[in-house]
Amino acid sequence: MKKAILLAGVLFVVGTTMVSCKKDYTCKCSKTYTSGSLTITKDYSTYIYKDTRNRAETRCNDNTNTGSDLGGNYSINCAIQ
User: What three-state secondary structure class fits 81?
Assistant: coil
Q: Which secondary structure element, helix H or strand E, spans residue 28, and what is its range?
A: strand 23-35
Q: What is the pLDDT of residue 57?
A: 97
Per-residue burial over 16-30, b = 16 or more CB atoms within 10 Å of its CB, e = otherwise: eeeeeeeeebebbbe
Helices (H), 19-79: 53-61
Domain boundaries, the chain: 24-80
Are the CB atoms for 48 and 55 separated by under 8 Å? no
In this predicted structure, what is the pLDDT of residue 20?
Answer: 64
pLDDT in tens, 52-62: 999 999 999 99
Lowest mean pLDDT among 4-8, 16-20, 27-31, 49-53: 16-20
